């Protein structure tokens, strides 16, 4: 992944060979996933058709909480240590897509909860801690829009990004630290409690959503990079205009 | 990926030919629209803080002790009195309809409790042998339930018509 090198954002598409490959792979995996997820995998003995929500709910949760918010935390730590614009923008981009996946997790969880538990929502430890993550990262995105200096904005957002990711640990262990309505871990490396086609459909769902995440991340990062470049150019232009006003010359 | 190059010092850009001029580069006052946008953004952060506080309140109240297992609820019966709480146990018998209430027994750690549920029907997963969480209060020796939630296990078993299943 390399930053765009154009002279202006309007002339630069955010697509690249990498994004075209990622986009094509996403579509191909999506087609295979839909085939297995909706048609070839059988219903579950007790949950019946509701089991299909597992194939998207769990992968989107893993991608949002671990991959996206983890990337935000890493980017935030590196930004605070090195003041690197690259890592700052990567953290921001990952957080934005992570919020999207986290919302998807909450919605699919609610849709799954109704036919299994009997309710869409309960203030259960796993649900509550996930909702806290969601709100913390919406807060992260809100901080990025505040009228502060770019450095202050990035620093405050970075601190919030790190705190937000620490909450992922709470989400992970919430079902064992407290009594929970939410089920425990299914995908145990030692003893996976899932039959063949269910497991295959889950991995296809995970691969599909991971590809979509990567594809969106590259695009979002490039947009953020171009916006940053445009902002820098705009500042230079504004400074030049102020100087011209002071000296009575035109730019 | 390469890092963006740092902007040159703006002061260096004034070294053009011509007379030296002192340029005022202090920020100008924000125009009205920008001020309103700034206020709106701070309001959004404030609203999110309130939402977060509300969720944290739920975390410290409802989520911290989401339910008591049957043995814990029995041990705390006097302390709990008639207050509303949730009790968790495994359904051990077929529910009976007694006076419009769904009556059944749940068990956990060798302790059992009779549940009288009046309210919405539980989900289709409800059956003997499955753990449930009932919300309600003690009414004498029985637990009066207003809401019945069904837990599902971590195991996922394919409904395969060719599979040999043990008799229940």
- The answer on pLDDT for B6 being more than 80 is no
Q: Any chain B CB within 8 A of the CB of A192? A: no
The residue-averaged pLDDT of B115-128 equals 91
pLDDT digits (tens, 9 = 90+) for A21-73: 999 999 999 999 999 999 999 888 888 888 899 999 999 999 999 999 999 99
Could you give the percent of chain B with pLDDT greater than 90? 43
Regarding predicted confidence, which is higher, B12 or A247? A247
What is the signed CA dihedral for B73, B77, B81, B87, rounded to 10 degrees?
A: 20
Let me know if B23 is exposed, middle or buried by CB neighbors in 10 A (0-12, 13-18, 19+): middle
Let me know if B32 is exposed, middle or buried by CB neighbors in 10 A (0-12, 13-18, 19+): exposed
| Chain B positions in Cβ-Cβ contact with residue A1 (cut-off 8 Å) | 1
| Chain B positions in Cβ-Cβ contact with residue A247 (cut-off 8 Å) | 18, 21, 23
The residue-averaged pLDDT of A211-238 equals 90
Interface test with B, best of A128, A141, A180, A231 (most B CBs within 10 A): A128
Task: Name the residue of chain A whose CA is nearest to B129's CA.
Answer: A46
* Number of separate helices (H) and strands (E) present in chain A: 7, 0
The residue-averaged pLDDT of A234-245 equals 80
Residues in chain A: 251
Which CATH number describes the domain made up of B68-150? 2.40.50.140
CB distance A194–B42 less than 8 Å? no
Q: What is the ipTM of this complex?
A: 0.74
Distance from CA of B111 to the nearest CA of A (A): 18
**Residues B118-130: b if buried by 16+ CB within 10 A, e if exposed:** eeeebbebbeeeb
- Measure the CA–CA gap between B42 and A156, rounded to whole angstroms: 14
Q: DSSP secondary structure string, A1-16?
A: ------S-GGG--S--
- Measure the CA–CA gap between A107 and A6, rounded to whole angstroms: 39
- The full set of domain ranges for chain B reads 31-64, 68-150
Band of pLDDT at residue A236, cut at 50, 70 and 90: confident
Q: Any chain B CB within 8 A of the CB of A1? A: yes
pLDDT digits (tens, 9 = 90+) for A109-123: 999 999 999 999 999
pTM, full prediction: 0.82
- Measure the CA–CA gap between A63 and A168, rounded to whole angstroms: 12
Of the given ranges (A46-50, A157-161, A201-205, B16-20), which has the lowest mean pLDDT?
B16-20
Which domains does chain A carry?
27-39+47-182+194-224 (1.20.120)
| Chain B positions in Cβ-Cβ contact with residue A43 (cut-off 8 Å) | 158-159
Q: Which of residues 20-39 of A touch B (CB under 8 A)?
A: none
- Give CA separation, B105 vs A127, A191, B67, B90, B129, in Å: 28, 32, 17, 8, 11
| Chain A positions in Cβ-Cβ contact with residue B159 (cut-off 8 Å) | 42-45, 48
Chain-wide mean pLDDT for chain A? 89
The helix/strand/coil state of B27 is coil
- Measure the CA–CA gap between A10 and A13, rounded to whole angstroms: 8
The residue-averaged pLDDT of A165-192 equals 86
- The answer on pLDDT for A90 being more than 80 is yes
Band of pLDDT at residue A95, cut at 50, 70 and 90: very high
Distance from CA of B98 to the nearest CA of A (A): 22
Could you give the percent of chain A with pLDDT greater than 90? 65
- Give CA separation, A168 vs A28, A133, B156, in Å: 31, 7, 25
pLDDT digits (tens, 9 = 90+) for B29-78: 666 777 777 788 888 888 889 999 998 888 888 777 789 999 999 999 99
CB distance B66–A125 less than 8 Å? yes
Strands B96-98 and B101-108: antiparallel
């Amino acid at each position: 992944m390399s930053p765009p090198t154009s002279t202006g954002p309007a002339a630069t598409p955010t697509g690249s060979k990498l994004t075209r490959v990622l986009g094509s792979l996403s579509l191909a995996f999506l087609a295979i996933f839909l085939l297995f997820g909706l048609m070839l995998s059988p219903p579950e003995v007790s949950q019946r058709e509701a089991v299909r929500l597992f194939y998207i709910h769990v992968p989107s949760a893993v991608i949002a909480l671990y991959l996206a918010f983890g990337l935000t935390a890493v980017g935030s730590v590196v930004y605070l240590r090195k003041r690197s614009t690259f890592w700052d923008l990567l953290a921001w981009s990952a957080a934005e897509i992570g919020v999207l996946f986290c919302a998807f997790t909450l919605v699919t969880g609610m849709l799954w909860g109704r036919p299994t538990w009997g309710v869409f929502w309960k203030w259960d430890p796993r649900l509550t801690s996930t909702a806290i993550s969601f709100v913390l990262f919406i807060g992260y995105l809100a901080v990025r829009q505040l009228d502060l200096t770019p450095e202050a904005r990035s620093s405050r957002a970075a601190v919030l990004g790190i705190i937000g990711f620490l909450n992922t640990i709470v989400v992970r262990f919430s079902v064992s630290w407290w009594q929970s309505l939410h089920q425990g871990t299914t995908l145990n490396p030692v003893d996976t409690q899932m039959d063949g086609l269910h497991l295959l459909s889950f991995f296809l769902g995970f691969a599909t959503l991971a590809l979509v995440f990567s594809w969106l991340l590259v695009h979002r990062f490039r947009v953020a990079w171009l916006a940053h470049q445009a902002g820098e150019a705009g500042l230079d232009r504004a400074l030049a205009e102020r100087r011209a006003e002071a000296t009575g010359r035109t730019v | 990926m390469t890092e963006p190059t740092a902007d040159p010092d703006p002061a260096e850009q004034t070294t053009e030919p011509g007379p030296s001029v002192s340029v005022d580069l202090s920020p100008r006052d924000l125009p009205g629209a920008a001020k309103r946008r700034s206020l709106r953004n701070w309001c959004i952060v404030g609203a999110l803080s309130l939402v977060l506080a509300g969720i944290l309140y739920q975390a410290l109240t409802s989520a911290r002790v989401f339910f008591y297992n049957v043995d814990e609820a029995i041990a705390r019966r006097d302390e709990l009195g008639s207050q509303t709480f949730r009790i968790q146990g495994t359904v051990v018998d077929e529910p009976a309809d007694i006076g419009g209430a769904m009556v059944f027994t749940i068990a956990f750690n060798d302790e059992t409790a009779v549940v009288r549920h009046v309210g919405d029907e539980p989900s289709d997963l409800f059956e003997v042998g499955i753990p449930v969480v009932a919300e309600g209060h003690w009414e004498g020796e029985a637990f009066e339930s207003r809401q019945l939630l069904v837990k599902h296990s971590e195991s996922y078993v394919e409904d395969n018509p060719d599979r040999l299943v043990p008799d229940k």
